[in-house]
Amino acid sequence: MTTFLNALGVACSLGVGKAAVAEALFGGAMHGLRDSPDWVPGRTLPVGGIDAALPSPPPAMADRDTRNNRLLLLAAQEIEDELRVAVARYGADRVGVVIGTSTTGIEEATAHIGTRGATGTWPAAYRYTDQELGAPAAFLAEWLGTAGPAYGISTACTSGARALLSARRLLRLGLCDAVVCGGVDTLCRLATQGFAALEAIDDRRCLPFSQARRGINIGEASALFLMTRDTGPVACVGGGASADAHHMSSPLPDGSGAADAMRHALADAGIPAAAIDYVNLHGTATEHNDAMESHAMARTFGHPVPCSSTKALTGHTLGAAGALEAAFCWLVLTDPARRLPPHVWDDDTDPALPPLHFTAQGHRLADGTRHLMSNSFAFGGNNASLILANAT
């Protein structure tokens, strides 16, 4: 069964809304990374923060007020009309909500825990529910007034992609007629200092697949889709996942686990690897991930498929990344000029890696039906791959 992504709301460091994000994404020069001294003591790091004002929840939902939920609401407001039409059409109990996240409201909780450590007393504003991984989904379901399945997905950096896979499953099983799905994560000290402790953060703008790569930049984002069985502008034609469980934080070095996810997605879509016209790479700019993904691409594709990592433009948005990068594929497929996101780096090819065919500014898709793949790989060997296509 083909499912369709009928609407997209998106916000990231490139901009707020589809038009602003597309303008920056396809240009490649307008990256969203800004130096900040706020996230790791003693270091000034490029981060992909969102400067736009975020909407407050309605007064009746003040007990759910976190930056994560505000950022989710910002994306939801872009497609609010489509979402509310879906609820009215299908009924509240037939609309599901599945949201991927890895940070949820932990930044607010971190501040409150610090207060308790200093004073011995929890501040009045502390709410344990802020840091629950299902909190964004519960927030959005309450805001929309839905009564269908509502839950969170937290599989580290595949969370957003897994949310779309889960939404497809709800539709295929007949449990829902529409699912609001995607991912959201906000900048927080737990993530920035945790990745710094792993020595996985670069003090410069990151360089995916470069011989000079030194680690990630962290960003924040929200990407939200309305998925249904009704024909829309973009079809989600395939999805695959795998879990190689090689190591708590490192991927299986030969790329076989990631390649399994890609093969499952191709089989689900019923197409050969040769049908893929572009791959949005996970491309974190860490030594091990980029090496693994290069091997996975070589295992999967026997031709030089155009590809790019967009994390040099947005930073790694963690639990939102899979949804955000699927959103970038959605923007490609709905762009009248069929533009592709450029791979922005220093052109310093790593001779130890299988070669990849990176896109450059101005590269475009040919006319006709096109299939785009978006890859996400996470801690614990948790891998996910999505295939999107234009619906006509």
Closest CA to 186 of 282, 63, 324, 283: 324
Which H helix or E strand runs over 358? strand 357-358
Residue 220's identity, in one-letter code, is E
Q: Rounded to whole angstroms, how far apart are CA atoms 357 and 345? A: 13
Q: pTM value?
A: 0.97
Neighbours of 392 (CB within 10 A): 7
* Domain CATH code at residue 283: 3.40.47.10
Q: Give me the number of domains the chain comprises.
A: 1
User: What's the order of all strands across the beta sheet hosting 218-219?
Assistant: 34-40, 43-48, 218-219
Buried b (16+ CB within 10 A) or exposed e, 208-244: bbbeebbbbbbbbbbbbbbbbbeebebbbbbbbbbbb
Q: Among all residues, which ones are annotated catalytic?
A: 157, 282, 316
The domain in which residue 180 lies consists of 3-390
Measured on CA atoms in the order 223, 229, 230, 232, is the torsion positive or negative?
A: positive
Mean of pLDDT over the chain: 95
pLDDT, residue 379, reads 86
Closest CA to 77 of 220, 180, 164: 180
Q: Rounded to whole angstroms, how far apart are CA atoms 376 and 390? A: 21
**Helices in the chain by DSSP H: which ranges?**
18-27, 67-78, 80-90, 106-119, 135-144, 159-172, 189-197, 256-269, 287-300, 311-314, 321-334
Whether residue 194 contacts residue 348, with contact meaning beta carbons closer than 8 Å, is answered with: no
Q: Rounded to whole angstroms, how far apart are CA atoms 2 and 293? A: 27
Bridge partners of residue 151, in order along the sequence: 98
pLDDT by position in tens, the chain (length 392): 789 999 999 999 999 999 999 999 998 777 899 999 999 999 999 999 999 999 999 999 999 999 999 999 999 999 999 999 999 999 999 999 999 999 999 999 999 999 999 999 999 999 999 999 999 999 999 999 999 999 999 999 999 999 999 999 999 999 999 999 999 999 999 999 999 999 999 999 999 999 999 999 999 999 999 999 999 999 999 999 999 887 777 778 899 999 999 999 999 999 999 999 999 999 999 999 999 999 999 999 988 999 999 999 999 999 999 999 999 999 999 999 999 999 999 999 999 999 999 999 999 998 888 999 999 999 888 999 999 999 86
Buried b (16+ CB within 10 A) or exposed e, 169-183: ebbeeeebbbbbbbb
